[in-house]
Structure 1
């Protein structure tokens, strides 16, 4: 049997090493934060972030205004690969809500949603280590991805400070690119689920070259972009 992990469905994709601040207002997730804070220092104070395929981050409430215990979400509504969020800072507000700061820690795959034994969602998961199965391929790809990322950012927002401190580690770089580039949720999920760093970097090189090409063509349009805007049809 795999590990049992508290799960927080969100509309975003979290990557290892990336910061994720959250405002916790629903009672079941307030309970989750309290449970995590109460764990011993030898246990990781973390929960799983899994991205919703569609719909709201909030679960439907019952007649008392509280959502039923985890049962409103099914595995079909969630992507199967997520990332744990480790608590780094917890601020409890006077009304019982929390402002928390978390950092992505380790990837996992959802095996099945666990029987509801808590007011929040839990899942059986298996851990997904970033194993390099292709020798030094990641080290060879990293400089090419970094160069493509610089070109992409120069076209997107020249004043970006993302690359002020470039990570030396290819895996860290791959996670930074995946979290920062303007990609679809499906593309981010594919990068999160990549079996190793080399596979992720190879996919990012393709995506960055594609996006840079699109941005270059848009900047070459001889009329202001505002002139291209058209009212959205209600039909």
Structure 2
């Protein structure tokens, strides 16, 4: 287990996806500076309620490495995170400035799944996305290298609820994740 800073937000970060953020709180500005200096990731955890992110959040999240940063007006810092790996947080400690640190366990995904056997189902999903009236979706936005990468990219870009996105993140099996996405899409 490794100790990493925790950043509860009302958002889910999926492995392989990008998340731009504007950091303004002192504790999180310190976190960014320390992550950059140590070249270590931080953990994004979805807050269950935006009004109480520090005390009510899911314990499964994703590590994120800072790809880029820039100073912004009013002492804010703009960062771009790259989602890396799913983790589960165990022991949590609160520092004097309110920054949360957690012991994280890295969660392994299932073995890479070749998409060829799932190609008919994936074609249906892609066609549904391209034709969906509420989405502006281009199939070129999705890389179909593996079922894991494909499912995370879809889950990140689709307008599902935070609870649905969290359930998708917590699924270990990428084919089950794709089936869940397909089921959710039928509801829209």
Q: TM above 0.5, one fold?
A: yes
1:148 equivalent in structure 2: 125
Q: Do structure 1's residue 122 and structure 2's residue 117 form an aligned pair?
A: no
| Displacement over 6 Å in runs of 4+ | none
Cα gap change, 1:152/1:26 in structure 2, threshold over 3 Å: closer, same or farther?
Answer: same
- Residue 221 of structure 1: aligned partner: none
Corresponding residue for residue 33 of structure 1? 32
1:3 match: 2
Q: Which residue of 166, 176, 181 maps to 2:142?
A: 166
Match of 1:201 among 166, 178, 183: 178
More strand by proportion, 1 or 2?
A: 2
Kept after mapping to 1: 8 A contact 2:65/2:84:
yes
Does residue 49 (structure 1) correspond to residue 44 (structure 2)? The answer is yes
Give me the TM-score of the superposition, normalised by structure 2: 0.87
Unaligned runs of at least 5 residues, structure 2: none
The two structures, once aligned, show a CA RMSD in angstroms of 2.4
Q: Secondary structure at the match of 1:108?
A: strand
How many residue pairs match? The answer is 187
How far does the alpha carbon of each residue in 1:89-132 deviate from its partner, in whole angstroms, 9 at most, with x for none?
01123643211111111100111312537651111111111123
For residues 142 and 26 of structure 1, the distance between their equivalents in structure 2, rounded to whole angstroms, comes to 46
In the aligned structure 2, how far is the partner of 1:36 from the partner of 1:106? 16
- Quick check: which has more Rg, 1 or 2? 1
User: What CA distance in whole angstroms lies between the structure 2 residues aligned with 1:112 and 1:139?
Assistant: 41
Cα distance per residue 1:169-192 (max 9 Å; x no partner): 211110011112221111111110
Q: Which runs of 5+ in 1 are unaligned?
A: 60-72, 212-235
Report the 3-state secondary structure (helix = DSSP H, G, I; strand = E; otherwise coil) of the residue aligned with 2:90. strand
1:188 to 165, 169, 173: 165
Task: Please tell me whether the aligned partners of residues 92 and 99 of structure 1 are also in contact (alpha carbons under 8 angstroms).
Answer: yes
